Structure 1
C-alpha cells in the first residue's frame, strides 16, 4: 500500500502498522519512500529508540501530555533530530488547551519542527480554558500572554457537570483486546 500511494505524494502515512511491530515498519521502509509517522500511543523515548536509531520513521507523533511533559518531549525530539526525524506532535481535542499550548510552545523551541496537528476545542472547553493562542489561515500563533497562555476559569468549570469518558476498547471476535 505504501508503495502504491507514492504517486500521490502524501505528507505522511500514519500508523501503517502497530508501532510495537518494529519488523513491519522495517519492511514498509524498505519498500516505499512515503514518509512514515507513528507514536500517538507511545509514552517514552524507549518506545521510539529502535524506530529513531534505525530511521524507520520520519515523524514523531506523541503528545506532550502523554510523554512526560515539555521537558521529556523536548529530549525525545532532540534525540530524533540527531537522526533527521521531525516532529508531528499529536494535538486532538481529548488533550486540553493546556496540552495544545504546551505543544505549540515546544514546536517553537525545537530545530526539527515538522508540523503541528490541531483540532479546535468546543465552546464549553474554551469557556473553561481561556487561551491566548490563535489559529488563522493554517497557522497557529502562541499569543502574547505569559507562560503557556492558558487561564483556567474555575467558576466556568464549576458550571459544567463532570462526565467520565474512556477511550474505546477494541475487541476481536474471540474477545481479545486489540489495538484500536
Structure 2
C-alpha cells in the first residue's frame, strides 16, 4: 500500500485483515503525517510498520513514544549508520517497538552486511527485509553471509565479511 491510503481507509483495512493475523501493515499512510497513525491504531490491532523514509530518531520519536507503530523500518544508511540506528532501536525498545529494517536491493550488499550484524546485536530485533541482489552486484561485492530458507547467516569472515573489488 505504501502511503496510498487515507487514515480512515487504513484503519478500515487494518480492521478487515485482523482475522488473518498478518505480520504487519506497511506504510499505510504517508509517514510524514504522524497524527494519522493515532486514528489507525485506535481502530485496529493489526501491527503497523513505518519508517523506511526516516533519517533520524526525531523522525520517528512521536510514533514510538506513543506506541502508534509496532515496527520501525529505517535503515542504517538513512539513520546515520550503526550509531544512529542504535539510538533509534534503543529508544524503540523502551516502548516495545521492534526493528523491521528496510532492505531493498538498491541498498548495497555492504549495507545489508552491516544491517545483518546490527540485527544480531539489537535486543528488540523483529525482522530484516531482504530482497536479494543481481549477479552483477554480487560480482562487485562478494560476501560471506548467506540467505537460506528465510534466514540470513553472517558467515565466518571477520568484520562485515564483504570484499570490495
Is the TM value for this pair above 0.5? yes
Structure 2 counterpart SS, 1:49: helix
Provide runs of 4+ in structure 1 moved above 3 Å: none
Aligned match of 2:118 in 102, 106, 126? 106
Quick check: 1:25 aligned with 2:37? yes
Quick check: 1:150 aligned with 2:162? yes
| Structure 1 position 100, deviation (Å) | 0.4
Deviations 1:5-36 (A, max 9, x none): 11111100000111111221000000000000
Quote the Cα distance in structure 2 between the aligned partners of 1:22 and 1:75: 20
What is the match of residue 83 of structure 2? 71
| Structure 1: gaps of 5 or more residues | 154-180
| Structure 1 position 71, deviation (Å) | 1.2
Quote the Cα distance in structure 1 between the aligned partners of 2:128 and 2:138: 19
Identify the structure with bigger relative contact order (alpha carbons < 8 Å, sequence gap 6+).
Answer: 2
| Structure 2: gaps of 5 or more residues | 1-12
| Structure 1 position 112, deviation (Å) | 0.3
Name the structure where helix makes up a greater proportion of residues: 2
TM-score where L is the length of structure 2: 0.91
What is the match of residue 6 of structure 2? none
What is the match of residue 90 of structure 1? 102
Quote the Cα distance in structure 2 between the aligned partners of 1:50 and 1:16: 17
Quick check: 1:10 aligned with 2:10? no
Aligned match of 2:152 in 119, 136, 140? 140
Quote the Cα distance in structure 1 between the aligned partners of 2:72 and 2:84: 13
